[in-house]
A and B are shown apart, each in its own frame.
Chain A
Amino acid sequence: MIAAIEIRGLAKRYGTVQALAGIDLEIQPGEFFGLLGPNGAGKTTLIGILAGLLRADRGTARVLGHDVVADYRAARRLLGIVPQELVFDPFFTVRETLRIQSGYYGLRANDAWIGEVMHHLDLGAKADANMRSLSGGMKRRVLVAQALVHRPPVIVLDEPTAGVDVELRQGLWQFVRRLNRDGHTVVLTTHYLEEAETLCDRIAMLKAGRIVALDTTADLIKRFHALYLRARLEGAVPEAMLPSIVEHDAGRYTFKLGTYADLEGMLARLRQTSCRILEMELVQPDLEEVFVQIMRSEG
């Protein structure tokens, strides 16, 4: 099967900064893929090269088998990019913006699809409003619509929910999930890790231009298999439990457990002493914790 996105040895340097240091990555058709990393990790550079906005120093990138440089026309037609910055052309209305964007892709009579995209993004009421008059959230929706106007099979969303309200965020994800269910490959970068955890089948974590983790979301979380007991205690903690304390602050303790079975022994030890449990919860690691650990370990 031809990969939706295939990246081989991609490198890019800005002066002394190595933005990408030889990335290899394959994203399969139909995947909902997350690209995570701290600021400056290389996510936007990677997307910029895919989009043809940036030029790689070495390496190749292909969209559904089409090289983004040698065969840029085909590659760009297959790709829809929602840029990170909230940009718009102040001369035009929403409908004009979408018609023009559609025309750039060689599509002339595309009003039916434009109408459908506007409907799904709740832009219908603003179709004839000038872009300048729209709120930030509405401008963000137009950016999404612009990326979809040529029906691209591969959609890249570069931090699409940065600074937008909860309602838009939820609505956007509902729509993008639907597109993914319809067979579209979706690549997402976000700083909201709970979004990535909920939405993405597979995740790559980037740091300093390198991929430091690449796995399914479930396996990434499993990789740091750990269970924590958070408790507020009254009295001295038994000596045998001291090595498993991860955090301790004013009577609040976090103990690391190997498995659920360890919990029973831990509670038994507490019962044997005068230590009383005032509050207690079991905590499993989430993507955010995995992300922090990976970023720390790749120091």
Chain B
Amino acid sequence: MTAERGGAGPAPMTAVALRPGSRLVGFATLLYKELLRFWKVGFQTVAAPVLAALLYLLIFGHVLEQRVQVYGSISYTAFLVPGLVMMSMLQNAFANSSSSLIQSRVTGNIVFVLLPPLSYLEFFGAYLAAAVARGLAVGVGVFAATVPFVPLQIVHPLWAVAFALAGCAILGAMGMIAGIWAEKFDQLAAFQSFLIVPLTFLAGVFYSIHSLPEFWQRASRLNPFFYLVDGFRYGFLGVADADPTASLALVGASLLLLSAITLALLRSGYRLRY
């Protein structure tokens, strides 16, 4: 360590005057940090889920392609792809915000985010946007990887985009809640294994709920993830199990509710500022 530098010491430090827009710099930096975090381990955070989805497609598609047709004339593989894309997006959006928060909290480096003058809104916005970005990156990856197997047309792209964004945001917010609530990695794993994975698997990814008995059809309609998968699939195929407008309204309301809960946790400093 040196205290001298060619006879000149460190420049006198005074509080630097902030330029207009400096608040945005804080938010943008936190977002950049979160994006860089998952991008640096892209094999694990993007490539691995794409591969997993591809394996689902190859196995389920191969086994069921000739046996199942959905909505009359749509092939099973064409039905499956949007579901796999959405499922991958949801799981990875959740994984992004939850794993980032729990890692930072357990290792203690969350202080680097808590010490600076970042507001709870900036905190929320940056983690949520990063979760959406990872969800979309995985979704695009899964879709691109499946193109050689199933040439799909996107009938209503705006609907698909709306459900993709809303789905990633909902799971990003859920990930934040889980990442703030969990004190240990196994608590987060339980949240993921016993809530997120079953809800996504049972959301009609692999089947149309119309193929289920009446009771399970009704049960599926209680699963909020069903509306995300179904609405997203509507964007691709132009047909869905539920009314897409109603699904979007329900999804939007869920997003608002979960965002409100997350913001309330952040504002109160729950398990972050004691």
Contact = CB atoms under 8 A, between A and B. Distances in A.
Contact of A152 (B9, B15, B108): B15
Interface in B1-41: 1-3, 5, 9-16, 18-19, 22-23, 25-26, 28-30, 32-33, 36-37, 40-41
Nearest to B31: A103
A83 B15 CA distance: 20
Interface in A174-193: 174-175, 177-179, 182-184
A104 B269 contact: no
Interface in A257-292: none
Contacts of A119: 2, 5
A116 B10 contact: yes
B13 A148 contact: yes
Contacts of B72: none
Interface stretch (B109-117, B130-138, B147-155, B240-248): B109-117
B15 A77 contact: yes
Given A83-B111, A103-B25, A105-B117, A122 B1 contact: yes
A89 interface: yes
Interface in A29-81: 48, 51-55, 72-78, 81
Contact of B18 (A48, A51, A77, A183): A77
A104 to B, nearest CB: 4
B126 to A, nearest CB: 10
Nearest to A107: B16
B273 interface: yes
Contact of B12 (A48, A104, A108, A182): A182
B274 A91 contact: no
B107 interface: yes
B118 interface: yes
B28 A103 contact: yes
A192 to B, nearest CB: 17
B17 to A, nearest CB: 10
B1 A96 contact: no
Contact of B113 (A77, A96, A104, A117): A104
A89 B109 contact: yes
Contacts of A183: 12, 14
Nearest to A155: B13
A174 B115 CA distance: 25
How many of chain A's residues touch chain B, expressed as a range?
Answer: 35 or more
Nearest to A113: B11
Given A76-B116, A105-B116, A106-B26, A151 B111 contact: no
B274 A153 contact: no
- Dominant SS among interface residues on chain B: loop
Nearest to A83: B111
Contacts of B29: 100, 102-104
B20 to A, nearest CB: 10
Contacts of A256: none
B86 to A, nearest CB: 28
A75 B117 CA distance: 8
A293 to B, nearest CB: 34
Given A54-B273, A91-B36, A92-B36, A120 B112 contact: no
Given A55-B273, A92-B36, A179-B13, A120 B117 contact: no
A85 B115 contact: no
A101 interface: yes
A77 B15 CA distance: 7
A89 B36 contact: no
B12 to A, nearest CB: 5
Contacts of B33: 92, 100
A105 B17 CA distance: 11
A148 B15 CA distance: 11
Interface string B206-221: 0000000000000000
Contacts of A294: none
Interface in B96-127: 104, 107-109, 111-119
A117 B9 CA distance: 11
B115 A52 contact: yes
Contacts of B16: 107, 150-151
Contacts of A172: 1
Contacts of B9: 178, 182
A217 interface: no
B116 A101 contact: yes
Nearest to B16: A151
B10 A53 contact: no
B117 A175 contact: no
A168 interface: yes
Contacts of B104: 89
11 contacts: A51-B115, A52-B273, A74-B117, A77-B15, A81-B115, A88-B107, A103-B25, A103-B32, A105-B116, A171-B1, A178-B3
Interface of A: 48, 51-55, 72-78, 81, 83, 85, 87-92, 96, 100-108, 113, 116-117, 119-122, 141, 146, 148, 150-153, 167-168, 171-172, 174-175, 177-179, 182-184
The 6 A-B pairs of least Cβ separation, nearest first, read A171-B1, A103-B29, A106-B22, A104-B116, A151-B13, A87-B108
Given A48-B274, A91-B36, A91-B37, 9 more contacts: A52-B273, A53-B274, A76-B116, A77-B18, A107-B16, A151-B13, A178-B9, A178-B10, A182-B12
